[in-house]
Amino acid sequence: MPTLLQCLNITVLSTSRCRKAYPGQIDSTMFCAGDKAGRDSCQGDSGGPVVCNGSLQGLVSWGDFPCAQPNRPGVYTNLCQFTKWIKDTIQSNS
């Protein structure tokens, strides 16, 4: 594993392309990202941030093993689907 923080610019894929890569496994709480070269998050990255224009949008969740395979994008948690739960949880614990 790397000892330095790493960053990668990758493309968020359409829901249909994501579902095509992982039939029956993708729901509205997930999105896929990757590129044709197979660049992707990897084992040990789980829970890491997905940031778009300075805003946290997702978390590294899962993908194929080995990672970074062409046409097998990484799968990420879509935090927008959990905004209400996050706010409610923070409020109830403040």
In CATH terms, the fold of domain 11-92 is Thrombin, subunit H (2.40.10)
Q: 56-89, pLDDT tens digit by residue?
A: 999 999 998 888 888 889 999 999 999 999 999 9
**71 and 44 Cβ atoms separated by less than 8 Å:** no
Tokens of residue 12, six digits: 């968020």
pTM of the predicted protein model: 0.88
Query: Structural domain boundaries of the chain?
Result: 11-92
pLDDT at 1 over 70: no
Alpha helices (H) along 1-94: 15-21, 83-92
- Tell me: the pLDDT tens digits for 10-35? 899 999 999 999 999 999 999 999 87
Q: Per residue in 41-64, pLDDT tens?
A: 888 899 999 999 999 999 999 998
CB 33 within 8 A of CB 50: yes
Q: What is the pLDDT of residue 6?
A: 83
Residue 93's Cβ-count burial label (10 Å; 0-12, 13-18, 19+) is exposed
